[in-house]
Amino acid sequence: MSAIDQLFANLRATGRKALMPFITAGDPDLDFTSAIVRELARRGCGLCEIGIPYSDPIADGPVIQASYTRALQRRIKVLDIFESLAGLSGDLTMPLVTMVSYAIVYRIGLERYVAEAKQAGVSGAIVPDLPVEESQHLAELCRREDFSLIQLITPTTPRPRATRIAEQSSGFLYYVSVTGITGERQDLPRELVDKVSWLKEQTDLPVCIGFGISTAEHVRLLSPVADGLIVGSAFVRRIATVSHDSSEDLRQKVVQEVGQFAESLLADLN
């Protein structure tokens, strides 16, 4: 059983749900990323998604695009990210997964990427631009290595294709709440709860919802049907107030603000 499988087994046994923040690795630097991850774990988040900066946005809105650009301007490298995460792995009570383009995985090499990620204490990968038709090799490798391959299902995914994606996935399914890009939204689609309810009837995998979630109202709406909620832009926007040259007082203040925001969402989630 992987760390992600164990997480959701524990949550289900206690009737709780996972808050799953997304943050960009290296924005504004890897030391600050480590401080944020530690704070999110301390506040009780279930899992943290670590965005691997990429120059060509896949479904990222302007807030996350800008964070990737800032990190890339500092010449952040994947193996530097893994080295930094390895320094955290012994201290954390929550699993980490990477959000990564398949182009990066392919360039490094599938076997090497999984091996390096595992050595860094990472438990899985979300690969948003990997079609299910081309995912078998990576899915088999991840199952063999007890490393979760988390794939996305969107509101426009036909139902037969959704079940096929579920069969090729492990860890959990990432359900995209809206058609479009990431970013904070005021309203979510009315049919979202029904679509997620149907998907949960087709698979034993946990189903976690992301894109657009940013308020307590969203959390209260979705917590009855989701196994976890993924919140990205709302965290990344708060982190964007810090630069590499910011004072230590400001850096500590933002870490606290991010932690308090996570805690406020958790209060409505469980």
pLDDT bin (cut points 50, 70, 90) of residue 110 is very high
Query: Domains plus CATH for the chain?
Result: 18-147+213-257 (3.20.20.70)
Mean pLDDT to the nearest integer, 22-45: 97
Is 49 known to be catalytic?
Answer: yes
pLDDT top residue among 253 and 220: 253
> Tell me, what's the pLDDT at 221?
83
The tens digit of pLDDT for each residue in 125-180 reads 999 999 999 999 999 999 999 999 999 999 889 999 999 999 999 999 999 986 65
Mean pLDDT of the chain: 92
Is 245 known to be catalytic?
Answer: no
Active-site option among 5, 29, 39, 49 = 49
Judged against a pLDDT cut of 80, whether residue 189 lies above it is answered with no
> Tell me, what's the pLDDT at 19?
97
The tens digit of pLDDT for each residue in 222-241 reads 888 999 999 999 999 999 99
Mean pLDDT to the nearest integer, 8-13: 96
C-alpha distances in Å from residue 62, one per residue of 57, 211, 217, 232, 266: 9, 13, 23, 12, 26
pLDDT top residue among 59 and 53: 53
Burial class (CB in 10 A: 0-12, 13-18, 19+), 83: middle
Mean pLDDT to the nearest integer, 7-11: 96
* pTM, rounded to two decimals: 0.94
Judged against a pLDDT cut of 80, whether residue 1 lies above it is answered with no
Active-site option among 5, 29, 60, 227 = 60
Q: How far apart, in Å, do the first and last CA atoms of the chain sit?
A: 24
C-alpha distances in Å from residue 140, one per residue of 19, 69, 101, 169: 28, 33, 18, 10
Judged against a pLDDT cut of 50, whether residue 183 lies above it is answered with no
